[in-house]
Structure 1
């Protein structure tokens, strides 16, 4: 299967995933009357959020999507930056109104913060160097004690590595931890680790930005839904959900998928 076809099969924004009822075509979106929404991201998860090498500004799928959400809701966005390991707690405490970083919706996190409806669904695959021939699927990787995984602690990628590859051992020395997702990919590139688990959406960004360096191998190891995180009981949640639905209905989400996962070239 060609990479573009492969990614199309694993990236979806299907309305069937939305638990919120679909809006009628004529239903008006909420008007936030020029309100400023303080939004936070990390700028380390290409192509969802990252630094434009040409300008030094933050760009990506999530930037475009949330700027469009704010436009539709008659709101402004005040963009902030935070490391991944503090982002959820900061949004929970109300330091920011909304956060995004390819954050997987799960029950444990729902106890801490609010989620929007999913804006994207993706699957976890093994990203390896282009010349990797020692393994082609996760069971062969698990059997070779010399092989190392790069991961960012507390992320879906980390827990998929632990429970889907290394038999549930969170302290396994074969998992090399990095402060950012980008650092783990750089370690893969330089040969310090042998595999990084990555959702298909980000894989397109890294493979495209590094021609001939990386490839994906094996079957998907997990499926995840991405959502925006919000302060508990936020009055913004229903408005953001309505905007996401409208962007699904009019094709905007698919347009963003094409722009960032297939057409973008830095």
Structure 2
């Protein structure tokens, strides 16, 4: 049965190509056909539930893994996964070492000067993640007023800049911000009492709370909104096909299904 279905899809694609007279535009759902090209994708495996290591298997999993694998399924391309640190990712993609990068990367004008972004695949807001028994503050204002309280953050991220400008006093060298290389150690420092709050988008806070029942909670309301996009080398011919696939995944509910899977159902 599966073989027959594949043959039927092939016939339909060929028929579409004959009728349109244009090669490579008749892949699944009318999307561009990348003819099996390899896409070198890079992530950090440090941003649960977008990308992280499965403790059961040791493999990289998460929303972004599933999203890019699905994009390449629709575009007829093959993903080759790589891992690098956040502080080198943008420069590595800009220089063409990788085709596409992802690590919950917020779309902003400063980064647009270095790389190209796809259309957003996820919109999120920043929230204050705290220990489950936290009673000393309930919002950014009361946190700011108590100079004993510390924030755990990752340098160069949206979370860092929200901590500096939306929570504290605008001083990027403020000693109340304790820096960590990745989000995981920052959350561990929070649990152990070394810092008092970590800023994260709503999706990641749900992931961390779900993975550590009874240890964490969110206080206060959203502190800002951000859109995540995949980054690509300037001038990359992958941008338009990826945008088309992202659009189709929004339209048919696939991105919503991935959100449910990773932000609400995964434990």
**Residue 263 of structure 1 corresponds to which residue in structure 2?**
265
| SS of the residue 1:220 aligns to | coil
Within 5 A, what are the aligned runs for 1:25-104? 28-104=30-106
- 1:159 and 2:161 matched: yes
Q: For the aligned residues, what is the CA RMSD?
A: 0.9
**Residue 220 of structure 2 corresponds to which residue in structure 1?**
218
Q: What's the offset of the Cα at 1:165?
A: 0.9
**Residue 147 of structure 1 corresponds to which residue in structure 2?**
149
The CA distance in 1 between the partners of 2:206 and 2:220, in whole Å, is 16
The unaligned stretches of length 5 or more in structure 1 are: 1-25
Q: Deviations over 1:36-94 (max 9, x none)?
A: 00000000100000000100000000000000001100000000000000000000000
Q: What's the offset of the Cα at 1:222?
A: 0.7
Q: Deviations over 1:66-124 (max 9, x none)?
A: 00001100000000000000000000000000000000000000000000000000000
- 1:175 and 2:163 matched: no
The CA distance in 2 between the partners of 1:128 and 1:213, in whole Å, is 9
**Residue 200 of structure 1 corresponds to which residue in structure 2?**
202
The CA distance in 1 between the partners of 2:120 and 2:244, in whole Å, is 12
**Residue 122 of structure 1 corresponds to which residue in structure 2?**
124
| SS of the residue 1:238 aligns to | helix
The CA distance in 2 between the partners of 1:189 and 1:96, in whole Å, is 35
The CA distance in 2 between the partners of 1:263 and 1:216, in whole Å, is 18
Q: What's the offset of the Cα at 1:27?
A: 6.3
4+ residue runs over 2 A deviation: none
| SS of the residue 2:224 aligns to | strand
The number of aligned residues is: 240
**Residue 107 of structure 2 corresponds to which residue in structure 1?**
105
Q: Deviations over 1:156-212 (max 9, x none)?
A: 000000000112100000000001111111110110000000100101100000000
| SS of the residue 1:245 aligns to | helix
The CA distance in 2 between the partners of 1:167 and 1:40, in whole Å, is 34
The CA distance in 2 between the partners of 1:151 and 1:27, in whole Å, is 41
The CA distance in 2 between the partners of 1:29 and 1:134, in whole Å, is 53
**What's the TM-score, normalizing by structure 2?**
0.89
Q: Deviations over 1:228-263 (max 9, x none)?
A: 000001100000000000011111111101111111
**Residue 248 of structure 2 corresponds to which residue in structure 1?**
246
By relative contact order (CA 8 Å, sep 6+), the higher-ranking structure is 1
The CA distance in 1 between the partners of 2:126 and 2:106, in whole Å, is 11
